[in-house]
Structure 1
């Protein structure tokens, strides 16, 4: 293999020296492509591509004209007589025509319609890594609800000489069936007898069985890369040999697929075959810190969630490929001849380097059904700390204690509310995490107390690399207890470089190491920290400078003897989990932690938030932020956002202002910048920018009740918090690829300004047979309709769907902490048919008392000129509920704004606690003639009440 000279120079120069100021001071230019593998440099993927080409060139099976027989020429067949139903599992033995190694294929039926398909050798030479399920699935996979054997009907018949097995069953919504063909082996998932997902219909299924290591001389150069593989100056010695597997998964009747983050690509995933603007390389799932990453590129970034959704006007289905090894996904589109017309098909080819093939097929058919199925596997996003929904300000780095407190005071001086200020690596003593540089931060506790006095929190960064220093307590304890990842011979610690120079990495697969690491966050271990300090886990892909692709080599060893190749994509999630568990146990009674992680995997949503990584101060990166955040939400990683303003570079005032206006509508809202950029706190830009950015931040705080209620919904249902338009309007095909306009919950549509040209119009599609209202002017639009708007810098296009009731808190405070006892305002946006509904959820925002009933959850319904507040069905009259209700008894509703009334009522009658009173209505301060305001109705937020408009 050719060694590329730029990397040789880099190895011999920059990386062999100390991490220099040159590295730290780089600004965004372009990704250094020669430091990352191309498709041709990934041996296991090359082998599977060659296998697929062979299959495509072979003669199809003779039964190709049968609709029940796949048309691929797969060499894998079911061993005759091996298929049998054992409880909720259909088991078959499958083998390659020439290899003759028996593979055990299990088709497992879950109660909700999900089908799990697993494959590995019946008698593997070595165990395959199969603990991904332990770390990802709900309660380690021990709490999945399986279908009852009595509900499964298994039968077979002969079709054109080939045995076809069918298992039928029903759930509450649809009749499902799975059809397995023996020769060649394939699986079709049908909903109401209509195929929706096919496995191996192209014949790409291939599992490289484990085998004895050949004589070293026989390996030779090993150009196939089965036993060793070289990239640049590094050789990956594969002690286990080839163990990859791949399969085609095809979505029948679909044109659009989504998900598999994280990539800076379009929301509707492109093909990977250069057709119609597609890519010429697959989507790669391999967590990497790609410095200065580019746009519209399937290069892998910081996180990986192997979940893909497909949507058409009739159904939404999903596939979850449960594997933490390097995985590549190819996408192609085709038309098949159908009964009435050509059928759209999205063909995907998934290839993983190692582990057990373990894939879940989720049939939907609705969006709600799909997320109910998906979250039954991985658990939904829990309720976060309420302060985490506020405005975060971050920089690499705020210089010292004085700088932190000055920034905080400037925020107050300019009336900008914020909740959290962040510290990057420079607060530490020589990059030794869990320490302070007291020359910069002489009294961290006093600093935290000063911030807390004004309702603010502090976040400090803790990276997973541990400085190799015998005088450093954390390293010394980790080393003495054997808690670090080992080298490829498993004889000593794996040594690498990161910000502290020589470093070691905690092995989170070791339960004792993970527990020990989490305990470092306890107050007695992390000195000068208080309950108002929270954590940022960065560089946890993991980043190891001087290594290929700046991450750990694949052959280094983890607990249990597993190689890094088996668990790489889990590493950041396990770091996140360990931190979460440590923060959870640092105080009693327990409080909800807040932790931000850069790297993530399926399951990370249980432990905190993520962001999209090191973006750039450029309009293109701002445009990319929304599809990236939406892709994460589709894949279940709901609490996500992008660095407002861009991490690299210096944004112009117009760009920064527009980014604030957009960032407030992403779940995680943080401004962040590189150390060598200019300071960019809003007041530094003067007017009109300061006022516009301040107004955007106010809007975020005004809407916190709505955001928190959305997180409550997500915690119960798994439904994304921010949603692509198609999720709310599933039959409107014009919206299937829409990625700029998006929904926040089911009620709010955001159409951000994404261009530097203020004269460039913004096209907005108002979908559905419904009224839409401008959130700020209350101007209404009768949908379906398309409109074009030109807006100045102070304007944003945010619309509320008719039929929605939105709760807000309107008083301007320094932080969310000072809003706890503020009154609420309800905005009732009347639908075309004169109705509206909404919810409000409140708890203490920090403890787990809500699990015992300590919350208020109200349902609001407007119909037939009457507005009613009633408790949600989840409200239980427990002691904890009564205690919390008493605490909130003075919290009132101070205004109700009725928007879109057809006639103007003259008076309203309020009935609360069996007491009636009349209240006047205000028309003098309304925004349109169809509005009216109920001023100071003064109902307690936790009480039942109704208002009748006469």
Structure 2
């Protein structure tokens, strides 16, 4: 049976200047649909087939033919090469349902949809209940359910409304709504193994939908995206490791909305980190390569012929079963065989806690790297058996997945309790005895957060390859087995920016590439970029050349040291950006359009990006780039260069940026204030160093910012975390730092300096907390600086006021 279909509409009103209408507009979208009499014989009504830009595929299966298309009541027009353009498409106004009886409720609206004709899909659901729930001022939830039978619902935790919000639906113009089910595009289909819902977009500026390799902007015409988790090397037109059914649309005035489709898939999940393992077995250590890891070799000798994780899994009955009721056996890295835990079972947490507890007694690890959790399988289905032929393993509609089947390089959908989820048409399948394929990777990660938190009593660090909506609460992501190539280097930026939109701020790519061999030039440029990934890690395959900077020589070493030093100096600012992400969900690495939504010139930029709201990173992405400058578009305002004193006054235009030695252009946005810190060899040592406040004035001499600080490891609820939170403000020659929340022991925090850039007139005095201070003012650099402050503890963390004349 199909899952419940839930749609969340997220509205951004920050930049809206167009008409705002009351929530009754949602109601008008559900007025009774007029079903045209031509619907069963559409091809005889040529005017209704005269559609140019809104052709929605009526035959998403491969190899559409005219007679089948016409039987479906659709239009046939085989004009030119396909290029993704459907030859078989729905006529204007085609519908399978009539929408009736919409009334107001405590939380919004409710109504019904009644089938007026059968679709071509097996086992249509004929009666639907529809709920429109005003969750918050900015979120509408639309829930479509089978009126007769209860069905599986995605087990995601999200806040639900207790009373109707005073929501307003925002129109982009005076005629239409921000979002609606558009029967003029394609009909709603709700059958046992096929769901379809359509909407027309108000703009071609489309973002999100993944995991895929593509540009940040996905507004190209006639594209199809398949969302079905799979282990494979990233490439174009491939369904990859994660599934994120979320998209965002921005119009050319900066108005935006997002749509999250709460559909699901289930999975078993396995994690691997190979190098230290014996025979690639989880919870083991290679006795030759890692002989010094405590007394683990002795433990291995005591356990000859046994593998405790498997033995205990059998005893606890936590493995996914085959048709005979025995553990489903496939193949991953272990030389012999692999089994998968079932994360839907109630005792799975106890199992993982036992295994991790036992392993941590041997190796005091700090976090979890979860790999191969799509779930990956080197066999297609069960080892030497494949998958039984039935409608769940071989559904009547097969999404255009890589490999040509739902069990290619994974488990059988039926026996492994998998679900298929797929394209932008929102088609997915489910069975009442199934759990989740795609969403189980997220479930797996949430278990790890619980278990690691209990085990270490510290904030868990978790990185996962396969991801699902909601994972950003529990861990991060790396973009998988990228190739050491210039094209893959370029593609990491749109991938990372897109995952920020998915609510996973801790994201990065394998610096210098994973597969293949890197080069000095490529690795140098990748280290310069990767130093500013939210999650920065140099990582490669075991059969490639070494690619740590020291192995590649002085050129890579110098570039790595320089950019990593800048990253470490920015750690307080980056940490504050993660605090903002925790509170609001906004990304850490941000596309320019995210910060400058009223500037349409930023909408297609994905070769450079913002780190937080203040810092712009402009990497070099071309081989053998020897020019002294690089071109980048700078939105309107003042911009300050990290390496050079010149203030760039941009009107919203492309500018030539000077490339510093061993680094890349790094710019600070005028009107912002950030906290830096003297860098050290690691983050723990850096925490003991001096802090430095940096103010970058706007053209009108104002600036704002904030700073968050805690111990970096406490695993406590938000209400119990001991932290300090400060806000910064500068206007009319007065800088202030105000403590908004006090809870952290700041006695070991030292302020070393305050630097204000963009001070356009000479300074005659500087008074800090009512005490005159020595200062330096550079008329050439337009910079005021108070050095060697050495203020400790409450003398500065209780608040600061700096005035200058």
> Once structures 1 and 2 are overlaid, which stretch shifts more, 778-787 or 696-705?
778-787
- Looking at structure 2, the residues matched to 640 and 429 of structure 1 have their Cα atoms a distance apart, in angstroms, of 29
Cα 1:40–1:651 change in 2 (3 A) is farther
Q: Tell me how far apart the structure 1 counterparts of residues 108 and 730 of structure 2 sit (CA, whole Å).
A: 48
Task: Say which of 540, 546, 551 aligns to 2:379.
Answer: 546
Which whole-Å CA distance do the structure 2 matches of 1:109 and 1:52 have between them? 40
Q: In the alignment, what sits opposite 2:106?
A: 87
**Aligned residue runs from structure 1 range 20-419, under 5 A:** 54=72, 57=75, 72-78=92-98, 82-99=101-118, 101-124=126-149, 127-130=150-153, 132=154, 134=155, 136-138=156-158, 143-148=159-164, 170-171=166-167, 175-176=168-169, 194-210=176-192, 243-252=193-202, 254-271=203-220, 273=222, 279=223, 282-291=224-233, 293-294=234-235, 297-312=236-251, 313-325=253-265
Please state how far the C-alpha of 1:258 moved relative to its aligned partner: 0.3
2:69–2:76 CA contact under 8 A, matched in 1: no
2:439 to 570, 584, 589: 570
- Return the alpha-carbon distance in structure 1 between the equivalents of residues 497 and 316 of structure 2: 42
In the alignment, is the contact (CA less than 8 A) between 2:590 and 2:611 conserved in 1? yes
1:922 aligns with 2:786: no
Q: Deviations over 1:704-763 (max 9, x none)?
A: 001000001111111111111111111111111111121111111122111013245632
Describe the shift of the 1:272–1:543 C-alpha distance in structure 2 as closer, same or farther (beyond 3 A). farther
1:655 Cα deviation (Å)?
A: 1.1
**TM-fit CA distance, 1:640:** 0.3
> Is 1:847 paired with 2:714?
yes
Match of 2:493 among 626, 629, 638: 626
Residue 825 of structure 1 aligns to a residue whose secondary structure is strand
Distance 1:192 1:478, change over 3 A: farther
Change (3 A) 1:51 1:848: farther
| 1:942 alignment counterpart | 797
CA displacement, residues 899-921 of structure 1 (integer Å, 9 cap, x when unaligned)? 1111121331111xxxx422111
Is 1:512 aligned to residue 385 of structure 2?
no
Contact 1:519 1:582 in 2 (8 A): no
Three-state SS of the structure 2 residue aligned to 1:284 is coil
CA distance change for structure 1 residues 112 and 577 in 2, over 3 Å: closer, same or farther?
A: same
Classify the secondary structure of the residue corresponding to 2:755: strand
Deviation at 1:89, TM superposition (A): 4.5
User: After superposition, what is the alpha-carbon deviation per residue over 1:878-910, rounded to whole angstroms, capped at 9, x for unaligned?
Assistant: xxx2xx33xx22422111122111112133111
Q: In 2, Cα distance between the equivalents of 1:602 and 1:734?
A: 30
User: Is contact 1:56-1:73 (8 Å) kept?
Assistant: no
- Taking a change above 3 Å as real, the CA distance of residues 442 and 909 of structure 1, as seen in their structure-2 partners, is same
| 2:133–2:161 contact (8 Å) kept in structure 1 | no
Compute the displacement of 1:298 (Å): 2.9
Q: Is the 8 A contact 1:542 1:552 kept in 2?
A: yes
Structure 1 residue 482 displacement after superposition: 1.8
Q: Does the 8 Å contact 1:435/1:526 carry over to 2? A: no
Summarize the alignment of residues 868-887 of structure 1 with structure 2, pairs less than 5 Å apart.
868-872=736-740, 875=741, 881=743, 884-885=744-745
Task: Structure 2: give runs of 5+ residues left out of the alignment.
Answer: 1-56, 78-89, 119-124, 297-303, 381-406, 420-429
State yes or no: 1:796 paired with 2:653. no
- Which residue of 765, 768, 771 corresponds with 1:907? 765
Do structure 1's residue 667 and structure 2's residue 609 form an aligned pair?
no
Residue equivalent to 1:238? none
1:514-549 CA distance string (max 9 Å, x none): 442244222x4543122x532111000010111143
Partner SS state of residue 197, structure 2: strand
SS in 2 for 1:498: coil
C-alpha separation in 2, matches of 1:190 and 1:96: 32
1:702 aligns with 2:569: yes
- Aligned position for 1:226: none
Question: Are 2:346 and 1:492 aligned?
Answer: no
Match of 2:481 among 614, 619, 634: 614
Q: How many residues align?
A: 676
User: In the TM superposition, what whole-angstrom CA distance separates every residue of 1:446-494 from its partner, at most 9, and x where no partner exists?
Assistant: 99xxxxxxxxxxxxxxxxxxxxx9821111111122211122x362221
Which residue among 809, 812, 816 is the counterpart of 2:677?
809
Structure 1 residue aligned with 2:283: 434
Superposed CA deviations along residues 387-425 of structure 1, whole A, max 9, x for unmatched, are: xxxxxxxxxxxxxxxxxxxxxxxxxxxxxxxxxxx9941
Structure 1 consecutive aligned stretches of length 4 or more whose deviation exceeds 4 Å: 39-47, 49-56, 189-194, 559-566
Deviations 1:797-826 (A, max 9, x none): 11111111121112x422111122211011
User: Structure 1 residues 251 and 820, CA, compared in 2 at 3 Å: closer, same or farther?
Assistant: same
Name the structure where strand makes up a greater proportion of residues.
1
CA distance in 2, matches of 1:194, 1:290: 42
Aligned partner of 2:81 in structure 1 is none
CA distance in 1, matches of 2:189, 2:478: 35
Of 816, 820, 823, the residue aligned with 2:687 is 820
Q: CA contact under 8 A between 2:231 and 2:372: conserved in structure 1?
A: yes
Distance 1:717 1:51, change over 3 A: farther
When normalised by structure 2's length, the TM-score is: 0.78
Three-state SS of the structure 2 residue aligned to 1:727 is helix
- 3-state DSSP of counterpart to 1:440: coil
Q: Which residue of 1 aligns with 2:403?
A: none
- 1:563-602 aligned at under 5 Å gives the runs 567-587=436-456, 590-602=457-469
In proportion to residue count, which structure has more helix? 1
Q: CA deviation at 1:79?
A: 6.2
Measured in 1, the distance between the counterparts of 2:660 and 2:351 equals 54
Distance 2:62 2:343 in 1: 27
Mapped to 2, the partners of 1:581 and 1:853 lie a distance apart of 17
Contact 2:136 2:161 in 1 (8 A): yes
Q: Distance in 2 between matches of 1:607 and 1:79?
A: 39
- Rounded to whole Å, the distance in 2 between the matches of 1:795 and 1:927 is 27
Is 647-656 or 752-761 further displaced after alignment? 752-761
Equivalent positions of 1:623-662 (< 5 A) are: 623-662=490-529
Cα distance in 1, alignment partners of residues 544 and 370 from structure 2: 22
Contact 2:58 2:74 in 1 (8 A): no
Cα pair 2:618 2:665 within 8 Å, conserved: yes
Q: RMSD across aligned C-alpha pairs, in angstroms? A: 3.2
CA distance in 2, matches of 1:44, 1:94: 30
- Does the CA contact (< 8 Å) of 2:701 and 2:732 recur in 1? yes
**What displacement does 1:687 show?**
2.3
Deviation at 1:193, TM superposition (A): 7.0
Q: CA deviation at 1:309?
A: 0.5
CA-to-partner distance for each residue in 1:287-339, whole Å, 9 max, x for gaps?
11113x32xx231111111110001114110110111249xxxxxxxxxxxxx
Query: C-alpha distance in 2, partners of 1:42/1:436?
Result: 48
d(CA) in 1 for partners of 2:779 and 2:354?
Answer: 55
Tell me what 2:397 maps to. Answer: none
SS in 2 for 1:91: strand
